Chain A
Amino acid sequence: MPTDPPIVFGPLRVHVDPVRAKAYARETGGDGQTVPLAYPAVWLTDPTLATLLNDLCAAQAAIPVHESQSFHYDQPLHHGENYDIHIEIRREETPPRLIIEATVLNMHKTQVAKIDAMLRLVPRAGLGAAV
């Protein structure tokens, strides 16, 4: 059940760094010839977005646990290309979650991909002082 209005973030200009994309492919069993499907996950660790997510979790006295992830492509990503990501973050109450929906556009403003991530918010209480 939605609780607050969604937070709209972006557009965030991102880049498929060929060196990083090939390194990501190597770490996940790929050959590096194509951009890995999951490569946009690296964009979702952008410090500005991470700070926003950390603040949302702190407000709920919770830690995020990655519950699910999806990538849907209209076109493949290409090494060396720039893209803009528009992000919407929604909070759900039952169960407590953050839903991150990202739309990836190319420089012609054509949609290339949709990326969704679901983070379960686990209360810090009971986890001790370690988190």
Chain B
Amino acid sequence: MNATINIGDKLPEMIIGPFEADDLMRYAEISGDQNPLHLDEALAKTIGFSAPPVHGMKVLAAFDAMLRRWRQDYEIIGLSGKFVQPLLRGERATLSGRVLRASEKEVFLRLFAHGPSRLPAIIGEATLRPKSLDAT
């Protein structure tokens, strides 16, 4: 029997990165997001970054894996994120999450991705639904 999810429950934190130039190049090729800002160090410096920023979607998408590992008896029906502060090439991010609402039908979580900066890289949300509801 799976444990009940309660308001305030915290997900196990997950550390991702550091992402290097090869990682960003590979993500760009697979995703189709070829924005040179993520790949060109000189361009990133011109705009004021000390290194190219990691694609925000690469970081947001990592919550998918984190959530699936947390509860395999739930399916993720919503994932969203606001890109607050860029995570830069060579930096790690810590993904965390906390349950804000929980019922028998739905669980709503607040998500954070924190890099080395004071501000989070991403403030996100996820909505999960028990897989058992699909069988009814």
- Chain A residues packing against B (C-beta within 8 Å): 20, 23-25, 27-31, 34, 36-38, 41-42, 45-46, 66-74, 76, 116, 127-128, 130-131
Q: Which of A37, A69, A70, A128 contacts B76 (CB 8 A)?
A: A37
Contact (A66, B62) CB under 8 Å given A27-B30, A73-B77: no
Q: Which of A20, A42, A71 contacts B78 (CB 8 A)?
A: A71
Nearest CB of A to B111, in Å = 12
Contact (A30, B64) CB under 8 Å given A70-B78, A76-B75: yes
B80 interfacial by beta-carbon distance below 8 Å: yes
| A20–B47 touching, CB < 8 Å | no
Nearest CB of B to A87, in Å = 15
Q: Is the interface of B mostly helix, strand, loop or mixed?
A: helix
B7 interfacial by beta-carbon distance below 8 Å: no
Q: Is the interface of A mostly helix, strand, loop or mixed?
A: mixed
Q: A46-B32, A73-B76, A73-B77 are in contact. List 18 more A-B contacts (CB 8 A).
A: A24-B61, A27-B30, A28-B58, A28-B64, A29-B64, A37-B64, A37-B76, A37-B79, A42-B32, A45-B32, A66-B57, A68-B80, A70-B80, A70-B81, A72-B78, A72-B127, A73-B78, A127-B47
Which residues on the A side are within 8 Å of B31 (C-beta)?
A: 24, 27, 41-42, 45
Q: Which of A28, A74, A127, A128 contacts B65 (CB 8 A)?
A: A28
- B65 closest partner in A (C-beta): A29
Q: Which of A23, A69, A70 contacts B30 (CB 8 A)?
A: A23
